[in-house]
Amino acid sequence: MNDLASLAERIINGSIEVIDLTSPLHSRTPILQLPPAWGQTRPFQLEEISRYDDRGPAWYWNNFSTGEHTGTHVDAPNHWVTGRDRGDVSQIPPDRLIGPAVVIDRVAEATANPDYLLDVQDLEDWQQQYGPLPKAGWLLFRTGWSARGDDPERYANADDQGSHTPGMTLAAATYLAATDLLGVGVETVGTDAGQAFGFEPAFPCHAAVLGAGKCGLTQLRNLNRLPVTGAVVIAAPLPIVTGSGSPARVLALAEK
């Protein structure tokens, strides 16, 4: 049997598990709230066109509206000014949406300190234990934050200083930007910390990683079900021409 036939067979027989890393989309799906000086994204909204009724007797369908960066989504390189010439979401080569995934677990740290920042030492320690970061792969930053994902207030964890959610340092972002990764995935609303609007420079992960032509993956769930190494992650954003990102279905394949 060739590799693809074997893969298909193993998905059917359950020895390779398909794990959905995607958060559901609805009107309470958490969205990023920036300081009021800046433009804001819209929540997800469904508008019914017909539902087996006089507007369409045999069919049900909706219009929807939302921002490109709602729920589980891909940040395309052109989302950030540093990556403005690096391509829009429709231009991400499809083979740069699928790759081996590794998980760095900082649930304990992020639970103890919501402003926890991943640093270069964490990445070096991880590689000491598990080997190099995967070429053309995803680094998934597990914080446990997705457990808050059904409650937008707990998810944003904001006070009068803004949102308090985990992220990474400028040094870690710069380090990751220089790797062969496809991109970085997180459980939070964005790849930067909640307080990163005030960092110097602001939003270092967006600036470094997207500027290097890589992607961000956000609002991931079920990272606890992935092995530390050995999974394959498939991110499928909509090919919005000129778009800066898109809601995406993100699936992982993992040996059972």
Q: How many CA atoms lie within 13 A of 237 on its CB side?
A: 31
Applying CB under 5 A, the span of 34-42, 70-78, 158-166, 167-175 interacting with Mn ion comes to 70-78
Q: How many CA atoms lie within 13 A of 26 on its CB side?
A: 7
The catalytically annotated residue of 73, 79, 164, 206 is: 79
Helices (H), 149-213: 152-156, 170-177, 204-205, 211
Applying CB under 5 A, the span of 23-31, 69-77, 129-137, 170-178 interacting with Mn ion comes to 69-77
Min dist. Cβ of residue 230 to Mn ion (A): 27
* Cα angle: 203, vertex 245, 85; to 5 degrees: 75
For Mn ion, the binding residue among 23, 69, 83, 166 (CB under 5 A) is 69
Min dist. Cβ of residue 76 to Mn ion (A): 9
The alpha-carbon radius of gyration of the chain (Å, integer) is 19
Sign of torsion, CA 66 71 77 81? positive
User: CB 1: neighbour CB atoms within 10 A?
Assistant: 9
Comparison of 79 and 106: residue with beta carbon closer to Mn ion: 79
| Contact string 150-179 vs Mn ion (x = CB under 5 A) | ------------------------------
Catalytic, 79? Answer yes
Q: Which residue type sits at 74?
A: V
Min dist. Cβ of residue 220 to Mn ion (A): 12
Binding site for Mn ion (CB under 5 A): 69, 75
So which residues are the catalytic ones? 79
